[in-house]
C-alpha cells in the first residue's frame, strides 16, 4: 500500500517536513515517526530562530524600559498578542491574555469568573473533558459551594445534545466549560449549537481549544464563545505560553488572578488599583521569548492556511481509520460526527504501554495511557488506550509504519 498516493497534491507535506529539524533524527537507529502531536507538537525552524534571535540580538524586559532593546522586545511581544487576536478573530487585542498554558487559562477563569458565582449556581462540563477542565471546577465547587454538572456523551462519542440542554433548563448554570475537540477521541464538538443552547438558558460558555486550534480555523465570534483557551506548544510553538481569550466586558468585570508588578495602575500601602485588561491578568515578568515564539508559530500556520491544514488532516484521519480499522483485534474508539487528527485504539490482549514501548523501539512515537481523561476512560469501559495523533508534517507513510509496527508488536505479545 502506497500511502502518499492519496494525499492532497496541493499540500506539499515534504516541504513542510523540511522545516522541522527534529524529523531528520533517528530513534533506536530508525527514522523517527512522530505520532504524538496531541501531547505536544514539534517546532519548525522559524519558531526556533525567532526565539534564538530574540535572545541573541535584542533581549530585555518589556513595557518598563525606555532603552532600544526594551522597546524592540516590547514591540515583538505585543506584536505576538496582535497575531493571536487575528488568528482567533478576536474583536480586540485587549481580549488576549497571555498565560502559561491552557490549564492556567482555565484556572484563571475558574478563580476570577468563579469568584462571582454563589451557592446555588452551577458549572456544566462534559464526560470527555481533560483533567484541566475538570479539576479547577471541582476546586471551585469545594471552595464556593457551586454545583458541578456533567453532560453525557453518546456511544458514538458525541455530546448528547438533549441531555446537555436538559441540564441547562433550570437556569442555574452560569458557565458551560467544554472541549472544542477531545484529546482522546478527536471529537469536534458542535460549538455553535452548544453556545446557542447555553446562551438561551442564561449561561456563558468556555471552549477548551487546546486541540482544536491546531486542526481547525478558529473564529471566536462565529463560535459565539465567551471564553476560549489555547496553548502554544500544541500549535507548533514553545511550552510555557498559552492564551485566554474572553469578551472584553467579562475581563473588565472579573477580579485579577494574581497580584504583583505590571497588573497594577497604582499602589500605596493603603490600596492598589488595577491596570486595564489584558495587563490586569498578567502579573510579573511574562514569558517574553515564548510569546515571540508563539507569534512565529502562528505565522507558520497562517502561511500554510487553516483550510489546507484541515483538509490534510481529514485525509489522514480517513486513511488511518481505514488502515488501522482493517487490522485484526484492533478497535478504534468512538465514531463521532466530526473528528480531528486523533485516533485512540485498543488491541485485544495487548496493554497500551507495552504497545507504545515496542513501537518506540521501531522509531514510532505514540502516546499510551489515560491521556489526562480518567473519567472518559471509565465511560468508554477501558483502562487506557494507545493514541496516534497527527500534525501538518504527518504522512500516510507514517500511518503505514504505525500499522506495520503494531502488527509486529502484536505478534511479539500474543
Query: What pLDDT tens digit does each residue of the chain (414 aa) get?
Result: 333 334 455 689 999 999 999 999 999 999 999 999 999 999 999 999 999 999 999 999 999 788 989 999 999 999 999 999 999 999 999 999 999 999 999 999 999 999 999 999 999 999 999 999 999 999 999 999 999 999 999 999 999 999 999 999 999 999 999 999 999 999 999 999 999 999 999 999 999 999 999 999 999 999 999 999 999 999 999 999 999 999 999 999 999 999 999 999 999 999 999 999 999 999 999 999 999 999 999 999 999 999 999 999 999 999 999 999 999 899 999 999 999 999 999 999 999 999 999 999 999 999 999 999 999 999 999 999 999 999 999 999 999 999 999 999 988 987
Quote the cell numbers at residue 218: 478558529
Q: Are strands 26-27 and 173-179 parallel, antiparallel or unpaired?
A: unpaired
* Phi and psi at residue 27, to the nearest 5°: -125, 125
Quote the cell numbers at residue 42: 514539534
Computed on alpha carbons and rounded to an integer, the radius of gyration of the chain in Å comes to 22
Please choose, from the candidates 365, 368, 366, 363, the residue with its C-alpha nearest in 3D space to the C-alpha of residue 351: 368
Secondary structure class of 281 (helix, strand, coil): helix
Quote the cell numbers at residue 45: 525552524
Q: How many CA atoms lie within 13 A of 268 on its CB side?
A: 2
Please choose, from the candidates 263, 225, 279, the residue with its C-alpha nearest in 3D space to the C-alpha of residue 81: 279
CB 206 within 8 A of CB 225: yes
Q: What angle do CA 388, 389, 393 make, to 5 degrees?
A: 120
Question: How far, rounded to the nearest angstrom, does the alpha carbon of residue 378 sit from its chain's CA centroid?
Answer: 22
Q: What is the pLDDT of residue 65?
A: 80
ω into 278 cis (within 30 of 0): yes
Q: What angle do CA 182, 226, 310 make, to 5 degrees?
A: 40
DSSP characters over 196-250: HHHHHTT-EEEEE-TTGGGTS---HHHHT-SEEEEEGGGTTS-SS-EEEEE-HHH
* Partners of 266 in the β-ladder: 273
Strand ranges of the sheet holding 204-208, from the earlier edge strand across to the other edge: 96-99, 242-246, 227-231, 204-208, 173-179, 122-126, 147-151
Q: Exposed, middle or buried, 393 (CB in 10 Å: 0-12/13-18/19+)?
A: buried
Q: Are strands 364-365 and 33-34 parallel, antiparallel or unpaired?
A: parallel
Domains of the chain and any CATH numbers: 3-40+306-413 (3.90.1150.10), 49-303 (3.40.640.10)
Quote the cell numbers at residue 65: 524600559
Residue of 275, 304, 372, 382 marked catalytic: 372
Helix segments in 244-395, DSSP class H: 248-253, 288-304, 306-325, 352-360, 374-380
Quote the cell numbers at residue 94: 485587549
Distance separating alpha carbons of residues 156 and 334, to the nearest angstrom: 5
- The question of whether 372 is a catalytic residue gets the answer yes
Q: How many CB atoms lie within 10 A of CB 255?
A: 12
Report the predicted TM-score, pTM, of the whole model to 2 decimal places.
0.95
DSSP characters over 13-78: HHHHHTT-GGGG-EETTEE-EE-BTTT-----HHHHHHHHHHHHHT----SS--SHHHHHHHHHHH
Amino acid at each position: 500500500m502506497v500511502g502518499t498516493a492519496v494525499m492532497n497534491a496541493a499540500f506539499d507535506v515534504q516541504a513542510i517536513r523540511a522545516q522541522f529539524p527534529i524529523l531528520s533524527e533517528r530513534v533506536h537507529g530508525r527514522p523517527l515517526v512522530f505520532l504524538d502531536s496531541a501531547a505536544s507538537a514539534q517546532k519548525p525552524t522559524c519558531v526556533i530562530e525567532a526565539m534564538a534571535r530574540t535572545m541573541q540580538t535584542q533581549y530585555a524586559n518589556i513595557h518598563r524600559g525606555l532603552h532600544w532593546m526594551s522597546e524592540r522586545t516590547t514591540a515583538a511581544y505585543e506584536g505576538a498578542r496582535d497575531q493571536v487576536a487575528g488568528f482567533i478573530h478576536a474583536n480586540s487585542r485587549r481580549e488576549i491574555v497571555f498565560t502559561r498554558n491552557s490549564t492556567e487559562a482555565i484556572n484563571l477563569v475558574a478563580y476570577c469568573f468563579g469568584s462571582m458565582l454563589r451557592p446555588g449556581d452551577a458549572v456544566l462540563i462534559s464526560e470527555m473533558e481533560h483533567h484541566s477542565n475538570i479539576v479547577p471546577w471541582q476546586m471551585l465547587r469545594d471552595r464556593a459551594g457551586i454545583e458541578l454538572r456533567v453532560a453525557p456523551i453518546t456511544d458514538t462519542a458525541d455530546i448528547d445534545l438533549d441531555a446537555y440542554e436538559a441540564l441547562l433548563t433550570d437556569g442555574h448554570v452560569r458557565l458551560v466549560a467544554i472541549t472544542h475537540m477531545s484529546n482522546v477521541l478527536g471529537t469536534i464538538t458542535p460549538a455553535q449549537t452548544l453556545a446557542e443552547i447555553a446562551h438561551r438558558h442564561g449561561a456563558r460558555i468556555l471552549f477548551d481549544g487546546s486541540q482544536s486550534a491546531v486542526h481547525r480555523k478558529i473564529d471566536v465570534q462565529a463560535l459565539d464563545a465567551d471564553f476560549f483557551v489555547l496553548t502554544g506548544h500544541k500549535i507548533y510553538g514553545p511550552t510555557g505560553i498559552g492564551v485566554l481569550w474572553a469578551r472584553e466586558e467579562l475581563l473588565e468585570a472579573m477580579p485579577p488572578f494574581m497580584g504583583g508588578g505590571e497588573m497594577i495602575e497604582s499602589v500605596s500601602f493603603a490600596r492598589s488599583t488595577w491596570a486595564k485588561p489584558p495587563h490586569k491578568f498578567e502579573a510579573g515578568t511574562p514569558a517574553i521569548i515564548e510569546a515571540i515564539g508563539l507569534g512565529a508559530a502562528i505565522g507558520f500556520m497562517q502561511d500554510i492556511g487553516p483550510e489546507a491544514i484541515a483538509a490534510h488532516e481529514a485525509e489522514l484521519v480517513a486513511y488511518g481509520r481505514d488502515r488501522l480499522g482493517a487490522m485484526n483485534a484492533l478497535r478504534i474508539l468512538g465514531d463521532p460526527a466530526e473528528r480531528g487528527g486523533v485516533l485512540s485504539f485498543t488491541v485485544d490482549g495487548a496493554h497500551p504501554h507495552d504497545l507504545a514501548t515496542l513501537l518506540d523501539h521501531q522509531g514510532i512515537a505514540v502516546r499510551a495511557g489515560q491521556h489526562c481523561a480518567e473519567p472518559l476512560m471509565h465511560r468508554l469501559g477501558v483502562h487506557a488506550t494507545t493514541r496516534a495523533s497527527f500534525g501538518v508534517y504527518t504522512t500516510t507513510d507514517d500511518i503505514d509504519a504505525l500499522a506495520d509496527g503494531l502488527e509486529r508488536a502484536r505478534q511479539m505479545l500474543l
